[in-house]
Amino acid sequence: MLEGKKVVLAYSGGLDTSVCLKWFEQQGATPYALYLDLGQGEPKVDVKEKAIKIGAADAFVRDARAEFVEEYVAPAIKANALYGGRYPLFTALGRPLIAKKLVEAAREVGAELIAHGSTGKGNDQVRFDVTTASIAPDLTVVAPVRDWNMSRPEEMAYAEEHGIPVSTTKKSPYSVDENLWGRSIEAGPLEDPDHEPTPDVYALTKEPEEAPNEPRYVEIGFEEGLPVSLDGREMPLLDLIVGLNAVAGEHGVGRVDMIEDRLVGIKSREIYEAPAAMTIIQAHQELETMTLTKDVLRFKAQVEQRYAELAYDGLWFTPLTAALDAFIHETQKAVTGAVRLKLYKGSSTVAGRTAPKALYSKDLATYDPNSTFDESAAAGFIALWGLPARQWAGLHGEGAGRSPAIPKLG
Ligand code: ARG
């Protein structure tokens, strides 16, 4: 089925996707490689040169960081998007963009196939395949690693046999994925959920014990739900994220160790480090509590959870995600202001918040006698608020709605 076909492969320069390239060539296909910069750091090799040497008809290296920040990370910030309440979804947000760029490249070279190096056990295959189904249903997705069932040693042997350079440095026991919104570490000793991650797991965050002894205050300024300044200095969101990754990471902030429910049904143990994502979302949530009504906050919390699940489950380009985006965007008009965080040895705590259109009013909240809150109105309000409870008690006896249902302890 591959004979004579053009295929665009998401290429990382690593072993898996290098073996994929060669394999496509051997099947008689014409492979093209696409390497995307999502802020994962400089590649260790010249990926273009390597891909062509292995047998790619052409190789494209593209910087997609700005698009990633504007169209994927920004809506996720507005949505406080955390899967399972903790994972900031960086990989899940990156996959639909990679798929979109694969589709674009496929159109450029006239390919009818696109390909990725995901295995059959993870969420990423789902995200690539479903995104492609959403935006380019005429294209076919191939996932050689999922289908060929080669073990790591077999892949190494295959690489050697075909002259694919394999890095000679000792292979890390971990499986890592990274972009500017965060870094994930899985596998090896981490598969034991009772094994505490050792320092070699982390690359973006300092060990809290080794973090500076002095706390660092950092102020994040927001406009309509998005960060626009760091410590009073205005800057593009991309730069702000890069800067905050460094500052918060230096203080050991942004680590997550969780058991996660994959879409494919497996529970997996995940280590994340996402200094900028965790602090930005924390500050954003805080500013929302100052500026949004109680009703919007309560309803938005439900929307956020669903939104995170949609992103996680590979449904980024679907109507429900788009509709929830519209709701979330509408809520952000008032979310302007600044939040000050105190970073100290692995923790980030809110130290202060200000907002020009704050709903928090000291005049109303103060216990000072000259508060503008009319306490005399409270009694009447409570009489009506408690009316149904009073009526129920009158008919069923005191507390009748509840206590008999609670089994006695012991
Ligand atoms: N568990 C995370 C997710 O499903 C991270 C996956 C990282 N992917 C990888 N191929 N290492 O989004």
Q: Are residues 98 and 200 in the same domain?
A: no
Residue 382 lies in a domain: no
Q: Is 95 one of the annotated active-site residues of the chain?
A: yes
246 within a domain of the structure (yes/no): yes
Ligand 1 atom showing the smallest separation from residue 118 Cα: 10
Query: Which residue, 159, 174, 189, sits at the end of a domain?
Result: 174
Helices (H) and strands (E) in the chain, counts: 15, 14
Q: How far is CA 83 from CA 180, 256, 286, in A?
A: 18, 12, 18
Closest residue by CA, ligand 1 atom 2: 91
292: domain range? 178-354
Residue 318 within any structural domain of the chain: yes
Q: Let me know whether 157 and 26 are in one domain.
A: yes
266 and 215 in a single domain? The answer is yes
| CATH number of 153's domain | 3.40.50.620
pLDDT tens across 108-156, in order? 999 999 999 998 889 999 999 999 999 999 999 999 988 887 787 888 8
Atom of ligand 1 nearest to the CA of 186: 11
Per the structure, how many domains does the chain have? 2
Same domain, 154 and 233: no
Concerning whether 348 is annotated as a catalytic residue, the answer is: no
pLDDT at 138: 97
* For ligand 1, atom 4: residue with the closest CA: 123
> d(Cα 1, Cα 188) in Å, to the nearest integer?
36
d(CA 399, ligand 1 centre) in Å: 50
Q: Give the domain-ending residue among 107, 141, 174.
A: 174
Strands (E), 11-151: 30-37, 58-63, 113-115, 140-142
403 occurs within a structural domain? no
Judge if 143 and 209 occupy the same domain.
no
Report pLDDT for 152.
Answer: 79
Give pLDDT, residue 406: 63
Q: Are residues 313 and 350 in the same domain?
A: yes
Average pLDDT over residues 69-79: 98
Residue 313 has pLDDT above 70, yes or no: yes
Between the CA of 120 and the centroid of ligand 1 the distance, in Å, is 12
Selecting among 16, 129, 177, 313, the annotated active-site residue is 16
CA 177–ligand 1 middle distance (angstroms): 7
Mutation to probe ligand 1, out of 118, 123, 130, 259 (largest number of atoms < 8 A from CB): 123
pLDDT at position 403 over 70: no
The answer to the question of residue 25 being in a domain is yes
Mean pLDDT of 86-98: 98
Ligand 1 centroid to 259 CA: how many Å?
Answer: 12
Residue 60: per-residue pLDDT: 97
Q: Judge whether 315 lies within some domain.
A: yes
Per-residue pLDDT of 338-366, as tens digits, reads: 999 999 999 999 999 999 999 999 888 88
Average pLDDT over residues 13-19: 92
Mean pLDDT of 252-261: 98
Please give the number of the atom of ligand 1 that sits closest to the Cα of 312: 12
Same domain, 149 and 219: no
Answer yes or no: is pLDDT of 300 > 60: yes
Q: What is the 3-state secondary structure (H, E, C) of 268-304?
A: EEEEEECHHHHHHHHHHHHHHHHHCCHHHHHHHHHHH
Is 363 labeled as catalytic in the residue annotation? no
Question: Does residue 399 form part of some domain?
Answer: no
CA of 290 to the centre of ligand 1 (A): 34
C-alpha dihedral over 19, 270, 253, 77, to 10 degrees? 80
pLDDT category of residue 47 using cuts at 50, 70 and 90:
very high
Q: How confident is the model at residue 227 (pLDDT cuts 50, 70, 90)?
A: very high
The domain that holds 305 is classified in CATH as 3.90.1260.10
Whether residue 55 is found in the same domain as residue 89 = yes
Say whether both 152 and 213 belong to one domain.
no
Same domain for 194 and 306: yes
What is the model's pLDDT at position 405? 60
- Close Cβ partners of 234 (under 8 Å, ≥ 6 residues apart): 221, 228
pLDDT value for 156: 86
- Looking at residue 208, its pLDDT comes to 97
Please pick, among 46, 62, 172, 175, the residue that the annotation labels catalytic.
175
Q: Which atom of ligand 1 is nearest to the CA of 87?
A: 2
Nearest CA to ligand 1 atom 9: 177
Q: How confident is the model at residue 410, as a pLDDT?
A: 64
Shared domain check, 296 and 163: no
Last residue of a domain, one of 336, 354, 372: 354
Ligand 1 proximal residues by C-beta, below 6 Å: 91-92, 122-124, 175, 177, 184, 186, 260, 270
- Give the per-residue pLDDT at 400: 64
Average pLDDT, the chain: 94
Q: Is 233 a catalytic residue?
A: no
CA-based end-to-end distance of the chain: 68
Select from 146, 270, 271, 273 the residue to mutate for testing ligand 1; criterion: most ligand atoms less than 8 Å from CB.
270
Which residue has a Cα nearest atom 8 of ligand 1?
A: 177
CA of 175, closest atom in ligand 1: 11
CA nearest to 185, candidates 41, 87, 97: 87
Q: Is it the case that residue 84 has pLDDT exceeding 70? A: yes
Q: Residue 166: is its pLDDT beyond 80? A: no
Residue 404 pLDDT greater than 60, yes or no: no
**Mean pLDDT, rounded, for 282-295:** 98
pLDDT of residue 43: 84
- Ligand 1: distance of its center to the CA of 178 in Å? 9
Do 25 and 131 have their domain in common? yes
DSSP annotation of 227: E
Does some domain include residue 44? Answer: yes
Instruction: Work out the average pLDDT over 58-76.
Output: 97
Determine the pLDDT at residue 170.
66
- pLDDT reading at 268 higher than 90: yes
Using the mean position of ligand 1's atoms as its centre, give its distance from the Cα of residue 72 in Å: 16
